[in-house]
Chain A
Amino acid sequence: AQSVTQPDIHITVSEGASLELRCNYSYGATPYLFWYVQSPGQGLQLLLKYFSGDTLVQGIKGFEAEFKRSQSSFNLRKPSVHWSDAAEYFCAVGDQNSGYALNFGKGTSLLVTP
């Protein structure tokens, strides 16, 4: 069965520290991969996406993610976290067979401390 797993429910990092949010997927076909960010009471904003090509993708707000097919992972990273990055982060996966219905992970809540 197709699935998306975000192993970490909550993550706390200090401002200025590096960040990595994990995402693992289980899909039969070549996946389309996305990271979205959600601020409290808001909709979701697309940070970055991977369809094909270079496995290291750059997104907005200084985020990047790397697609590792051998590990079925698409982890989100940022070298230096800012207090404004505190939010809920969702990994989402689709494919050519079901691309109309992105499968979302349960989310990781990021807390940034001074």
Chain B
Amino acid sequence: DGGITQSPKYLFRKEGQNVTLSCEQNLNHDAMYWYRQDPGQGLRLIYYSQIVNDFQKGDIAEGYSVSREKKESFPLTVTSAQKNPTAFYLCASSIQLGSEKLFFGSGTQLSVL
């Protein structure tokens, strides 16, 4: 079955440590996105990618980095520069940028030890 897979489901980070969240899709979608969700907040866009080897900053990109070396993969690195990393992270994809429908992964909960 096609879909989006995020791993791990739960992740813990020590102070000053970089961690990478995985997002893989087998839907053959060109566009991929990373959102951050905090309690009582809507989803906020961190980064998005229109196509392989291209990505753009969203509203809250500081402290994060991404890569898009393969169409099916869009990993997110939470760097030590992100001072408040504890959140629920959602990856999404769509057929193309601006497409009507986003498909979401099941999310990764990141916590700081």
B-chain residues with CB within 8 Å of residue A46 when the two chains form the complex:
101-102
Tell me whether A43 and B98 are in contact (CB under 8 A). Answer: no
Smallest CB-CB separation from A97: which chain B residue?
B98
Given A41-B107, A43-B105, are A104 and B43 also a contact pair (CB < 8 Å)? yes
Q: In the bound complex, what is the Cα–Cα distance between A68 and B20 (angstroms)?
A: 42
Give the total of A residues in contact with B, Cβ under 8 Å: 25
Chain B: interface residue count, which band?
Answer: 20 to 34
Q: In the bound complex, what is the Cα–Cα distance between A44 and B59 (angstroms)?
A: 20
Tell me whether B42 and A101 are in contact (CB under 8 A). Answer: no
Smallest CB-CB separation from B102: which chain A residue?
A102
Beta-carbon contacts under 8 Å, B1-25 to A: 4, 6, 9
Beta-carbon contacts under 8 Å, A11-38 to B: 32, 36
A-chain residues with CB within 8 Å of residue B102 when the two chains form the complex:
44, 46, 102
A93-105 interface bits toward B, Cβ cutoff 8 Å, 1 = contact, 0 = none? 0101001111111
A-chain residues with CB within 8 Å of residue B40 when the two chains form the complex:
9, 106-107
Name the residue among A36, A46, A96, A101 with the largest chain B CB count within 10 angstroms.
A101
Q: In the bound complex, what is the Cα–Cα distance between A96 and B58 (angstroms)?
A: 17
Smallest CB-CB separation from A102: which chain B residue?
B102
A-chain residues with CB within 8 Å of residue B100 when the two chains form the complex:
32, 49, 51
Q: In the bound complex, what is the Cα–Cα distance between A94 and B92 (angstroms)?
A: 15
A-chain residues with CB within 8 Å of residue B98 when the two chains form the complex:
94, 96, 99-100
CB distance from A10 to the nearest CB of B (A): 10
Residues of B within 8 A of A (CB): 4, 6, 9, 31, 33, 35, 40-45, 48, 50, 58-59, 90, 92, 97-102, 104-107, 109
